[in-house]
Amino acid sequence: KIFGVEIRKGDYNNKDEFLEALNGIEVVLIVSGMDHPDKRIGQHRNIIEAAKENGVRKIVYTSIVGKDGSSTFDAIVQSNRQTEKDILESGLEWSIGRNGLYIEPDVEYIENYKIEGKIANCAANGLCSYTTREELAYAYAQMILHDDRNENIYNLTGKAITQSQLTDYMNKAFGIKLMYKAMTPEAYLELQQKVNGEFLGMIIAGIYTKIRNDEFNIESDFEKAAGRRHISWEDYFKQL
């Protein structure tokens, strides 16, 4: 045990391990896998099936926001939607969160932004519904603990902002003068695949293409799930 929490082994590719790991468990939080989209559905089904066979009462799932589109990220969104469907058809109690995009990676990349003097991607003027890991943790705790959140799908996001607004927040928080540069989706995909490899580059470029197309501009249900409002971006950046 670590800090009083029992650790049990469970490989998403191994249903038998989850049959053992979920023994005696009442509520399971499934964190969406990080594998290729075509593998994730089966991995998540291993957990769902093991949960059913163990008599688990309730599943909570971390999905992702995103309207239907045709970007290179859409396979990820579609794989999450299939897992949502599998959970709804499982016969178990359920509660699903659709996570907004994490804002922390931009903050963690600040030293690189300083060197480059800009934030550059293909999102252009699209609005993006960001969130933070801390806000998500709070919301999921409420969804796990409170059954009045059951049988609901929640968009867990803060207020949608543009990349120019994000740049302004970063400038104020860190006392710098970054600019935002919009790239074409084609140029950004080429850049990301050169820097991060074919698969990860495709994922990153697809995310910003969806932002460009307003496909991550989602109405938030955070307050309904968490019981309080999402932190404002003004307050978030003030505390950095």
The string of pLDDT tens digits covering residues 65-96 is: 999 998 989 999 999 999 999 999 999 999 99
On the 0-12 / 13-18 / 19+ scale of CB atoms within 10 A, 97 is buried
Q: In this structure, is residue 10 part of a structural domain? A: no
Query: What confidence category does residue 134 fall into, taking pLDDT thresholds of 50, 70 and 90?
Result: very high
Q: In this structure, is residue 7 part of a structural domain? A: no
Q: In this structure, is residue 230 part of a structural domain? A: yes
Separation of alpha carbons 38 and 21, rounded Å: 24
The string of pLDDT tens digits covering residues 158-199 is: 999 999 999 999 999 999 999 999 999 999 999 999 999 999
User: Is the pLDDT assigned to residue 110 strictly greater than 90?
Assistant: yes
How many structural domains compose the chain? 1
pLDDT of residue 125: 98
pTM for this entry:
0.95
Helix 37-53 crosses helix 74-88 at what angle (to 10 degrees)? Answer: 20
Element (H, E) at 120: strand 118-121
Structure tokens belonging to residue 9 = 């082994």
pLDDT of residue 206: 96
Query: What confidence category does residue 24 fall into, taking pLDDT thresholds of 50, 70 and 90?
Result: very high
Tell me what the mean pLDDT of segment 118-139 comes to: 98
Residue from 87, 91, 31 nearest 55 by CA: 91
The three-point CA angle 31-32-37 to 5° equals 165
Element (H, E) at 57: none
Buried b or exposed e, range 60-93, using 16+ CB within 10 angstroms:
bbbbbbbeebebbbbbbbebbbebbebbeebebe
Q: In this structure, is residue 9 part of a structural domain? A: no
Q: In this structure, is residue 8 part of a structural domain? A: no
Amino acid type, 63: S
Separation of alpha carbons 38 and 139, rounded Å: 28
Separation of alpha carbons 116 and 113, rounded Å: 5
Q: In this structure, is residue 3 part of a structural domain? A: no
Q: Is 2 left (phi over 0), alpha (psi -120 to 50) or beta?
A: beta
- Provide the residue range defining the domain that includes 76: 15-238
Query: What confidence category does residue 42 fall into, taking pLDDT thresholds of 50, 70 and 90?
Result: very high
Q: In this structure, is residue 120 part of a structural domain? A: yes
Separation of alpha carbons 134 and 139, rounded Å: 9
Residue 175 · residue 184 · CB < 8 Å:
no
On the 0-12 / 13-18 / 19+ scale of CB atoms within 10 A, 103 is buried
User: Is the pLDDT assigned to residue 2 strictly greater than 80?
Assistant: no
Q: In this structure, is residue 207 part of a structural domain? A: yes
pLDDT of residue 94: 98
pLDDT of residue 5: 87
pLDDT of residue 3: 81
What CATH number is given to the structural domain containing 28?
3.40.50.720
